[in-house]
C-alpha cells in the first residue's frame, strides 16, 4: 500500500522545507526544498550551525534555548539569509526527537513567508492610497456636481433674462457668447462627472427602457447637419433596431461618434452610417468617414485624455468623448472598435438587445480522454503470503539452512546453506547442541525449551529473531522448527529450516524508523494537509494539517473518496477522475482551486497530487499535499482591487490637472464677455449693470473653485512644490488683511491684527498668503458680525499664526474637526470646514509645520498654525 512508498525519498523531495537540528544547533539534515529556499548546496548547509544562516543573533539564541528544552515551535518567525544575500522571512514549526529523555535532534518544518510579508507591507501602503482615493473622489465629485454647476446655472439664468432686456447689438452678442461658453463649460463638467463615475466610482449607471437605435442615430445626425452643413450623410437601416437600452446614454455615444466624424471627416467622402438589426440578439452599427486616424493614435483612440498625449492631435475640450462612449457601450455589455482602411475610419458598435445574464464561471480544464479506455490503475496484488518453504527448499538450497536435530536438540545433519548462514562447517556443527546459535539473553530466558515445547505440542514452531553466527555476529533469522514423530507419535527429532533475513531486516528496520520519523513529521505538519489516496482515490492516511485545513478527523475521512473535498460542479465536470488520471499518466498533477471543508465552506487550495509506484512499477496510490491559500487568494484579490484604485488615483490626478486647466477656457470667454456686457449696459441701465456685476461674482467663484480643484490635485499628486524665499510673515499678514478689507466689512467682521514685526523665515509667500486668507475667510464665514483676532508672533524658532473668532466655536471633540478636514461631508460647507482648512493643513505640513484648532477661552474657535522658521532637512 501507500505506506510502502520510500519515506526517505518522500521527505527528500516533498515541497516542504524540512531540516533536523542537533542539540548544539548544528544542522544534521535538510531536504531539497529547504536547500532550494535558501540556495545552498548540501555541503554548504548540512553540518553548519544555524547561526550562520540567521539574520538575527538573538533569534538564534532564543530558538536554540527553546529547542534544547524540547519546546515545540509553531510558526516561529525568523529571518534567514539566503546564499545570494536575500533575507527570507520564514515561519518555523518544530518538535523535538527525544531518546532516553535526551534531545537527539529537533525536526523543523519551514514555511517561506517572505512573499506574504512583502505583500503585507505593500498592502498597508495601498490601503492608505485607497483611503485617499475615496476621500478625494468624493471631494472631487462634490466640487463638480454642486460647486461648479451652481454658479454656472446662476450665470446662465441671469444672462437669459438680460438678453430680453438689452437692445445694444454688441451687448446681445456678448450675452450670446456668455451662454455658449456656459454651455461649453456645462458639457465639460458633465463629461468630467461621467469620467469620474466610469473610472472612479465603478461604472456608469444605466436606465434601460425600450429604445430604437435608428431613431437615436437619426436625431444625432441632425446635429452633424447643423455643425457641418452640406456634408453628405448616408444612412441605411436594416431589420429591427429596437432593444432595451439607456437611450440618453446611447444618444451621447452617437453624438460623440458623429461629432468626432464631423470634426475629422474629409469633405470628399460622405458620412456613412449603417445599422444592421437583422440578428435576433444584437444590433450592429458601423460609421465610416474619410480620413484615417493616424496609426500612432489608433491604439489609444478610446483612452482618456487622448488628445493630451499626442501633441499634434489636440482635440478641443478634454478628449474624453470616445472614452465615455466606450464606457457606455461596455456598460450595455456591447463592444466598440475603431479601424482604419484605405484612409477611411470606421467605428463599429455592437449592442446586445437585452442585458446578457452571464453564465456562472465554469471549471476550465484540459480536455480529458474518457476514462473507460484508460483504467486508472490495477488493484494492488495482495502481498505475497508466507513463502512456500517446500518449493523454495528445492530451488535455492544455498539460501536456507536445513538441518535435523535429535529429540534433545543436538545437530544431526548439515547443509551448504547452514554453513553459509551460520559460519560453522559441517564437522564443527554436527553433534553440537543447537543452542550455539542463540544469543545469551535468549538462552537465559529459556527460549530453547519453549520453542521445542511449542513444536512438540503444535507440530511446528515459527519465528523471526536474532541469532548468533560462529564469529559472534548477529543475523536476523526466519526459523521454522518442525517436530518429527515416529509411528508411535513420539517425537524423535526436529527439522529446522533457517533463513538469513538480516538484509531485509536492516532495510525494514530503517524503514520502520524512517516511517516513524516520517509519520511523526507528517502528522505534526499543520500548515499542509499531507495524506495518501489509494489508487481509487480513497483516503488512506491523514495528518494534523489535513485535519486543520479540512476539519475532518482521521476516523471520519479514512476510507472515503477524496471527491468529498471538491465542489459539486467540479465533481460533475469529472475533475477528480481527471486529476488522478493526469497524475497517474505524468506522475504529478498540480492545481489551484476551490475546495470544500467538512462544513461545506470553501477554501482556495494549492493541490499537488503525486503518483506513488512500488518497485515493480505498479501504481499503489497517490500522495496529496494541499495548502490553504485562501488568505493569499484574498490578498491577491485585495491587491487587484487596490491596484485598480491606484490606477484610479493616477487617472484622477491627471484628470484634475487637465480638467482645471481646460475649464479655464470657457471661463475666460465667460468673464470677458460678462465684463463687456456690463460695460455696454452700464451706459444705459445702471440697475441692469448691477445684476451683471452679481453674475460676475458667480464667475469669480467659478474661477476660485477651478483653482481649488488644481490645488487638490497638486496635493494629491505630491506636486505641491514650495517656492521658498525669505518672507516676513507680519508683512504678508498685513497685506492679506488689507486685501480682505472689503470682504470683512461685507461680513461685518472687524479684524484686529496684532502683528509682531519681523517674524521672518523661509517660506512660500503665495502659500502663506493662502493660509492666512483661508483662516480669515473661515472665521468670517462662521463668526459673521463679530470681531476676528489675527496674531502673528515668534515662539523660539517657530512662527505662529493665530486666528480667533467669536462664533459658535468647535464641537466638543476638536480632534474630530481635524478628521473632518478630509471628509467628503465637509465639502457641503465649502469654504467652511472644507477644502479651505484642508489646504491650510497641507500647506502647513509641507512647510514642516502643523495646524491645530481649539475653543478659545471666552467662546469662539481658535486656529493656530506653527511654521518652523528654517527649512529642516
Partner 1 sequence: MHVVLVVEDDPDIRATLCEALEDNGYSAVAASNGVEALEYLRGGNVTPCLILLDLMMPVMDGQAFRQEQRNDATLASIPVVVVSAYRDLDKYAEQLATECLPKPVRLDTLLQTARKHCDSAA
Nearer residue to partner 1 within complex by CB, 237 or 715:
715
- Looking at beta carbons only, is 308 or 550 nearer to partner 1? 308
In the complex, the smallest distance separating the C-beta of residue 57 from partner 1, rounded to whole angstroms, is: 53
> Segment near partner 1 (CB under 8 A), from 25-33, 180-188, 557-565, 600-608?
180-188
Residue 630 found at the interface with partner 1 (CB under 8 A) = no
Does 831 contact partner 1 by CB under 8 A?
A: no
Least distance CB 180 / partner 1 (angstroms): 7
Which one of 152, 402, 670, 736 is in contact with partner 1 (CB under 8 A)? Answer: 670
Q: How far is the CB of 672 from partner 1 (least distance, A)?
A: 5
Q: Tell me which residue of 695, 655, 661 sits closest to 675, measured CA to CA.
A: 695
Closest CB to partner 1 among 177 and 550? 177
Give the one residue of 207, 268, 312, 486 binding partner 1; rule: CB under 8 A.
Answer: 312
Q: How far apart are CA 441 and CA 435, in angstroms?
A: 12
Q: Which of 160, 634, 668, 683 binds partner 1 (CB under 8 A)?
A: 668
CB atoms within 10 A of CB 606: 18
- Per DSSP, the three-state class of 52 is helix
Distance CA 819, CA 827 (A): 13
Out of 699, 708, 730, 778, the residue judged to bind partner 1 by CB under 8 A? 699
Pick from 675, 760, 769, 802: which binds partner 1 (CB under 8 A)?
A: 675
- Shortest gap between Cβ of 200 and partner 1 (angstroms)? 23
Q: Residue 33 Cβ, how far from partner 1 at the closest point, in Å? A: 57
The residue from 177, 249, 595, 841 that contacts partner 1 (CB under 8 A) is 177
SS (H, E, C) 195-206: HHHHHHCCCCCC
User: How far is residue 576's CA from residue 566's CA, in Å, rounded to a whole number?
Assistant: 8
**Least separation in angstroms between CB 792 and partner 1:** 25
- In a 13 Å sphere around the CA of 460, the CA atoms on its Cβ side amount to 9
Instruction: Say whether residue 306 binds partner 1 (CB under 8 A).
Output: no
Residue with Cβ nearer partner 1 (53 or 655): 655
The residues facing 625 across adjacent strands are 530, 608
8 Å CB contact between 179 and 162: no
Give whichever of 184 and 595 is closer to partner 1, judged by the CB atom.
184
Q: Is there binding between residue 691 and partner 1 (CB under 8 A)?
A: no
Contact with partner 1 (CB under 8 A) among 221, 522, 698, 710: 710
Q: Which of 496, 664, 806, 847 binds partner 1 (CB under 8 A)?
A: 664
Per CB under 8 A, contacts with partner 1 among 330-369 are: none
Cβ distance to partner 1 smaller for residue 236 or 316: 316
Of positions 175, 275, 580, 667, contacts partner 1 by CB under 8 A: 667
**3-state helix/strand/coil string of 713-763:** HHHHHCCCCCCEEEEEHHHHHHHHHHHCHHHHHHCCCCEEEEECCCCEEEE
Residue 767 touching partner 1 (CB under 8 A): no
**Gyration radius of the chain's alpha carbons:** 44
Long-range contacts of 127-134 (CB under 8 A, 24+ apart): 127/642, 129/642, 129/645, 129/646, 129/649, 130/641, 130/642, 130/645, 130/646, 132/649, 132/716, 133/200, 133/645, 133/646, 133/648, 133/649, 133/652
Q: Which is nearer to partner 1, 313 or 331 (CB)?
A: 313
Q: How far apart are CA 551 and CA 541, in angstroms?
A: 14
Based on the shown chain and the rule CB under 8 A, indicate whether residue 709 belongs to the binding site for partner 1: no
The binding track of 128-167 with respect to partner 1, each residue x by CB under 8 A or -, is ----------------------------------------
Which residues in 776-815 contact partner 1 (CB under 8 A)? none
Q: How far apart are CA 622 and CA 620, in angstroms?
A: 7
| 815 vs 830: CA distance, rounded Å | 19
Measured from the CB of residue 321, what is the shortest distance to partner 1 in angstroms? 17
Tell whether residue 173 is a contact of partner 1 (CB under 8 A).
yes
CB closer to partner 1 out of 225 and 310 = 310
First-to-last alpha carbon distance for the chain, in angstroms, is 71
Task: Pick between residue 178 and residue 605 the one whose CB is nearest to partner 1.
Answer: 178
What's the residue count for the chain? 873
Instruction: Check residue 176 for interaction with partner 1 (CB under 8 A).
Output: no
Selected from 146, 314, 450, 828, the binder of partner 1 by CB under 8 A is 314
The stretch near partner 1 (CB under 8 A) out of 65-73, 572-580, 662-670, 774-782 is 662-670
> Helix (H, G, I), strand (E, B), or coil: what is residue 556?
helix
Compute the distance between CA of residue 623 and CA of residue 102 in angstroms, rounded to an integer.
33
Asked if 673 is part of the footprint of partner 1 (rule: CB under 8 A), the reply reads yes
Q: Which is nearer to partner 1, 162 or 418 (CB)?
A: 162
Could you please report the per-residue DSSP string of 837-866?
A: HHHHHHHHHHTT-EEEEEEPTTSSEEEEEE
Work out which of 181, 288, 345, 610 binds partner 1, going by CB under 8 A: 181
CB closer to partner 1, 314 vs 504? 314
Q: Is 289:344 a contact under the CB 8 Å cutoff?
A: yes
CB burial readout 397-430, b (16+ within 10 A) else e: eeebbbbbbbeebebeebbebbbebbbbeeeebe
By beta-carbon proximity to partner 1, the closer residue of 196 and 673 is: 673
> Which residues of the shown chain bind partner 1 in the complex (CB under 8 A)?
170, 173-174, 177, 180-181, 184, 311-314, 316, 661-662, 664-673, 675-676, 679, 699, 703, 707, 710
Amino acid at each position: 500500500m501507500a505506506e510502502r512508498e520510500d519515506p526517505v525519498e518522500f521527505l527528500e523531495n516533498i515541497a516542504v522545507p524540512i531540516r533536523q537540528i542537533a542539540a548544539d544547533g548544528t544542522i544534521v539534515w535538510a531536504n531539497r526544498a529547504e536547500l532550494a529556499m535558501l540556495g545552498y548546496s548540501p555541503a554548504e548547509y548540512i553540518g553548519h550551525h544555524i547561526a550562520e544562516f540567521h539574520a538575527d543573533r538573538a533569534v538564534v539564541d532564543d530558538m536554540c534555548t527553546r529547542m534544547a528544552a524540547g519546546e515545540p515551535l509553531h510558526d516561529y518567525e525568523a529571518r534567514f539569509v539566503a546564499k545570494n544575500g536575500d533575507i527570507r522571512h520564514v515561519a518555523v514549526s518544530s518538535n523535538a526527537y527525544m531518546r532516553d529523555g535526551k534531545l537527539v535532534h529537533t525536526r523543523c518544518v519551514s514555511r517561506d513567508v517572505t512573499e506574504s510579508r512583502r505583500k503585507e507591507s505593500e498592502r498597508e501602503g495601498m490601503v492608505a492610497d485607497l483611503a485617499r482615493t475615496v476621500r478625494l473622489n468624493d471631494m472631487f465629485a462634490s466640487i463638480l456636481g454642486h460647486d461648479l454647476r451652481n454658479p454656472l446655472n446662476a450665470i446662465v439664468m441671469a444672462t437669459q433674462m438680460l438678453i430680453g432686456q438689452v437692445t445694444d447689438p454688441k451687448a446681445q452678442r456678448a450675452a450670446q457668447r456668455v451662454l455658449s461658453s456656459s454651455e461649453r463649460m456645462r458639457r465639460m463638467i458633465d463629461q468630467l462627472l461621467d469620467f469620474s463615475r466610469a473610472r472612479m466610482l465603478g461604472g456608469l449607471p444605466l436606465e434601460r427602457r425600450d429604445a430604437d437605435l435608428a431613431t437615436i442615430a437619426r436625431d444625432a445626425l441632425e446635429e452633424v447637419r447643423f455643425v457641418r452643413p452640406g456634408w453628405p450623410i448616408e444612412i441605411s437601416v436594416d431589420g429591427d433596431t429596437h432593444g432595451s437600452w439607456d437611450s440618453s446614454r446611447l444618444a451621447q455615444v452617437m453624438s460623440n461618434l458623429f461629432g468626432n466624424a464631423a470634426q475629422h471627416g474629409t469633405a470628399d467622402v460622405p458620412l456613412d452610417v449603417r445599422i444592421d438589426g437583422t440578428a435576433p440578439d444584437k444590433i450592429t452599427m458601423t460609421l465610416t468617414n474619410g480620413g484615417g486616424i493616424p496609426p500612432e493614435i489608433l491604439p489609444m483612440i478610446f483612452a482618456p485624455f487622448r488628445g493630451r498625449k499626442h501633441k499634434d492631435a489636440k482635440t478641443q475640450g478634454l478628449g474624453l468623448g470616445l472614452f465615455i462612449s466606450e464606457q457606455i457601450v461596455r456598460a450595455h455589455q456591447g463592444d466598440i472598435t475603431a479601424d482604419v482602411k484605405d484612409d477611411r475610419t470606421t467605428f463599429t458598435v455592437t449592442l446586445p438587445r437585452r442585458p446578457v445574464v452571464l453564465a456562472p464561471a465554469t471549471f476550465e480544464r484540459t480536455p480529458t480522454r474518457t476514462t473507460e479506455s484508460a483504467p486508472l490503475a490495477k488493484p494492488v496484488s495482495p502481498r505475497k503470503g508466507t513463502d512456500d518453504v517446500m518449493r523454495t527448499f528445492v530451488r535455492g538450497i544455498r539460501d536456507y539452512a536445513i538441518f535435523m536435530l535429535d529429540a534433545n536438540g543436538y545437530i544431526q545433519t548439515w547443509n551448504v546453506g547452514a554453513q553459509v548462514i551460520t559460519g560453522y562447517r559441517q564437522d564443527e556443527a554436527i553433534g553440537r547442541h543447537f543452542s550455539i546459535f542463540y544469543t545469551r539473553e535468549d538462552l537465559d530466558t529459556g527460549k530453547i525449551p519453549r520453542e521445542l515445547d511449542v513444536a512438540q505440542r503444535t507440530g511446528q514452531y515459527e519465528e523471526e529473531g536474532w541469532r548468533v553466527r560462529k564469529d559472534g555476529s548477529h543475523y536476523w533469522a526466519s526459523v521454522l522448527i518442525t517436530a518429527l514423530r515416529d509411528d508411535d507419535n513420539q517425537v524423535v527429532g526436529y527439522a529446522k529450516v533457517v533463513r538469513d533475513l538480516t538484509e531485509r531486516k536492516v532495510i525494514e528496520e530503517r524503514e520502520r524508523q524512517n516511517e516513524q520519523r516520517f509519520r511523526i513529521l507528517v502528522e505534526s505538519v499543520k500548515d499542509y494537509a499531507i495524506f495518501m489516496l489509494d489508487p481509487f482515490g480513497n483516503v488512506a492516511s491523514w495528518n494534523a494539517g489535513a485535519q486543520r485545513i479540512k476539519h475532518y478527523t482521521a476516523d471520519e475521512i479514512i476510507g472515503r473518496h477524496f471527491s468529498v473535498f471538491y465542489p459539486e460542479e467540479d465533481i460533475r465536470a469529472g475533475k477528480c477522475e481527471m486529476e488522478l488520471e493526469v497524475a497517474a499518466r505524468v506522475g504529478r498533477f498540480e492545481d489551484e482551486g476551490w475546495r470544500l471543508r467538512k462544513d461545506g465552506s470553501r477554501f482556495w487550495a494549492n493541490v499537488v497530487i503525486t503518483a506513488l509506484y512500488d518497485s515493480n512499477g505498479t501504481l499503489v496510490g497517490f500522495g496529496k499535499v494541499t495548502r490553504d491559500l485562501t488568505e493569499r487568494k484574498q490578498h491577491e484579490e485585495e491587491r487587484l482591487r487596490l491596484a485598480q484604485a491606484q490606477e484610479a488615483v493616477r487617472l484622477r490626478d491627471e484628470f484634475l490637472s487637465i480638467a482645471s486647466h481646460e475649464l479655464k477656457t470657457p471661463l475666460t470667454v465667460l468673464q470677458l464677455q460678462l465684463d463687456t456686457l456690463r460695460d455696454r449696459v452700464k451706459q444705459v441701465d445702471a440697475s441692469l449693470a448691477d445684476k451683471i456685476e452679481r453674475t460676475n461674482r458667480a464667475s469669480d467663484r467659478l474661477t476660485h473653485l477651478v483653482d481649488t480643484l488644481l490645488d487638490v490635485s497638486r496635493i494629491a499628486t505630491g506636486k505641491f512644490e514650495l517656492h521658498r524665499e525669505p518672507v516676513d510673515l507680519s508683512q504678508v499678514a498685513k497685506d492679506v488683511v488689507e486685501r480682505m478689507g472689503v470682504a470683512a466689512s461685507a461680513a461685518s467682521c472687524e479684524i484686529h491684527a496684532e502683528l509682531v514685526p519681523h517674524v521672518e523665515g523661509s517660506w512660500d509667500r503665495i502659500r502663506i498668503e493662502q493660509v492666512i486668507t483661508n483662516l480669515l475667510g473661515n472665521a468670517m464665514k462662521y463668526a459673521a458680525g463679530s470681531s476676528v483676532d489675527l496674531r502673528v508672533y515668534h515662539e523660539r524658532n517657530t512662527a505662529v499664526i493665530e486666528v480667533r473668532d467669536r462664533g459658535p466655536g468647535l464641537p466638543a471633540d476638536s480632534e474630530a474637526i481635524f478628521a473632518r478636514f478630509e471628509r467628503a461631508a465637509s465639502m457641503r460647507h465649502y469654504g467652511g470646514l472644507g477644502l479651505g482648512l484642508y489646504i491650510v493643513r497641507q500647506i502647513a505640513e509641507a512647510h514642516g509645520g502643523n495646524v491645530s484648532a481649539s475653543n478659545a477661552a471666552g467662546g469662539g474657535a481658535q486656529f493656530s498654525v506653527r511654521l518652523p522658521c528654517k527649512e529642516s532637512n
